Amino acid sequence: MPRIALGLEYDGSCFAGWQSQDHARGVQSVVEEGLSVVANEKIEVVAAGRTDAGVHAAMQVVHFDTTANRTERSWMLGAVANMPNQVSVLWAREVPEGFHARYSALARRYRYVILNRIARPALNADRVAWVRFPLDENRMHEAAQHLVGEHDFSSFRAAQCQSRTPMRKMYEIAVKRHGELVELTVCANAFLHHMVRNIAGVLIAIGTGERPVDWAAQVLAYKDRRLGGVTAVPGGLYLAGIRYAPALNLPSEPEFTVLAPTEPMNARSP
């Protein structure tokens, strides 16, 4: 029975998150429905990670097992033809039986994109976070470096987070400006529920001058979510890539392209 991996891109603004739900539409449901048509059998997928309602993916990776014999091109094009326009398949690969989209992942990368201008967005209202007050990206980047390394991220996890441990290893974190866009990039072995959005909330407060640069370190040391900042809105968040062992040769860490605010936010396909 072949095991197939897919790279997915989706606009999360019209979904209630990744996971299939009885009361609302999840991305997982439409992906499984589309693949089931191609396979002519029921398909269930396993994802590298869940995304919340309103959160997008420039690269989500899933795997599934099937008895159907299809080419990689057929899986890719057939699935896209049977999914809504807000979801696309970027690639399909047959992978070893032991591959697991979640547990084989070595690292995950997220981007948080902020539109920093006085005027509120219209074209990209659901694809960026809007901050009208001037942000100092250099202060934000300096503050973010306190989070690099292995730490207890209790101050940055949601109250409903179900992870058994708050320990996570942050490999890199950076804040850069591209004109009116301020981009936060984070890469870690794994993430807690709302972790990136809570980090963004702290850094935004530092960027506006509301809080000092060392506040990020103080919040981390508190290990108490109640003493942290606000949770930033979901629209600016993108699952941007999943890192696997190079031997798998999966195109799962694409270059994320930040476009002008008047153009659709997207990611460059591998």
Block residue for tokens 């099937």: 66
pLDDT of residue 257: 56
Tokens standing for residue 168: 């996570």
Strands 56-65 and 107-116: unpaired
Q: What is the Cα–Cα distance from 217 to 88, expressed in whole angstroms?
A: 39
Tokens standing for residue 200: 């963004």
pLDDT of residue 270: 37
11 residue type, one letter: D
Q: What is the Cα–Cα distance from 216 to 136, expressed in whole angstroms?
A: 15
Q: What is the Cα–Cα distance from 134 to 237, expressed in whole angstroms?
A: 20
Please say whether the beta carbons of 63 and 5 come within 8 A: yes
Closest Cα partner for 109 from 205, 220, 187? 187
Task: Note down pLDDT in tens along the chain; length 270 residues.
Answer: 899 999 999 999 999 999 988 788 999 999 999 999 999 999 999 999 999 999 999 999 999 999 999 999 999 999 999 999 999 999 999 999 999 999 999 999 999 999 999 999 998 899 999 999 999 999 999 999 999 999 999 999 998 898 999 999 999 999 999 999 999 999 999 999 999 999 999 999 999 999 999 999 999 999 999 998 899 999 999 999 999 999 999 998 876 554 444 444 444 433
What pTM was computed for the model? 0.92
Q: How far is CA 63 from CA 22, 31, 71, 112, 266, in A?
A: 22, 11, 15, 26, 23
Tokens standing for residue 63: 């795997």
- Residues designated as active site: 52
- Helix, strand, coil percent values for the chain (each to nearest 5): 25, 25, 45
List the helix and strand counts (H, then E) for the chain.
Answer: 5, 10
Locate the DSSP E strands across 123-179: 129-131, 149-152, 167-178
Domains in the chain: ranges and CATH: 3-104 (3.30.70.580), 107-239 (3.30.70.660)
Please say whether the beta carbons of 89 and 75 come within 8 A: yes
